[in-house]
Structure 1
Amino acid sequence: MPARGINHVDLTVSDVARSIDFYTRLLGPVGFGEYDRYPSYRGSEEVVYFRFGQQYLGLRPADGGAHHYYEVGIEHLAFFVDTREEVDDAYQRCLAMGANVHYPPELDRDIADYYALFVFDPDGIRVEVACAPGV
């Protein structure tokens, strides 16, 4: 039986409330919202899950340390939206909240009609918001 896709990804973050605020402000207007909260398998914290289509993003408190871009771990998360206007609107929300924008919205040089912005979340995890009608 073939795999059907990625169901969820959990991130460990330094401040769950701050990350909830960031992801809600960035992606809430395009349907990304808190779905549920569950105790972790360790029983010492809870995982907050957001739903985006049929995929889920979990946020749980880190035991310590920090994420460093391009070191071992996740390089970036990408979220697809329907239109370039939604990408542009997400960029405006990034500016309004003072987020660390890596690249403002632009067309990809290699993939036709691929329009994206990149921003770092509060822990330095790079997040992409993209529109790609042909992908």
Structure 2
Amino acid sequence: MSKGLIHHIELYVSNLKTSTHFWGWFLEELGYSAFQKWESGQSWKKGETYIVFVQAEERFLDVTYHRCRVGLNHLAFYADSRQHVDDMTKKLKNKGIAILYKKQHPFAGGDDHYAVYFEDPDRIKVELVAPE
């Protein structure tokens, strides 16, 4: 039964090419597959859930995103294990993607919360968390 599960998430981005390059490899590492692609957007799907990235219109690009404003704070995904979090952390670093909360990593979310935090090109925080 799918009642209550997320059907899809749609994010408007400042630069579609940059965002899909960033998100594509990450989502595919988590088992998502490319789903739809059109001139101003692209999506990835896993099971019945998909994530869509759409190029924001030029007239809206003057307002920048900040996760502490009203709206989305971050997206969190499950990893397979702590080792998966560690492997993905290495991949993020190799891609030049800054790890957030370095001094507390991998326990920035608390002593029982093993995760890596980073930002997408529009500074949306992303979390990859190991199951307990």
TM-score, L = length of structure 1: 0.79
Partner of 2:80: 82
Distance of 2:20 and 2:33 partners within structure 1: 9
Aligned length: 124
Q: Which amino acid aligns with 1:15?
A: N
Deviation at 1:13, TM superposition (A): 0.5
Query: Larger deviation: 78-87 or 45-54?
Result: 45-54
TM-score, L = length of structure 2: 0.81
Structure with greater strand share of residues: 1
Instruction: Among all aligned residue pairs of Structure 1 and Structure 2, give the percentage whose two residues are the same amino acid.
Output: 29
Deviation at 1:11, TM superposition (A): 0.5
1:56 to 45, 50, 66: 50
Deviation at 1:117, TM superposition (A): 0.8
Residues 48-127 of structure 1 aligned to structure 2 (within 5 Å):
48-63=42-57, 64=61, 65-104=63-102, 105-107=105-107, 108-109=109-110, 112=112, 114-127=113-126
Distance of 1:6 and 1:30 partners within structure 2: 17
Q: Secondary structure at the match of 1:26?
A: helix
Q: CA RMSD in A?
A: 2.1
Question: Which ranges of structure 1 fall in alignment gaps of 5 or more residues?
Answer: 39-44
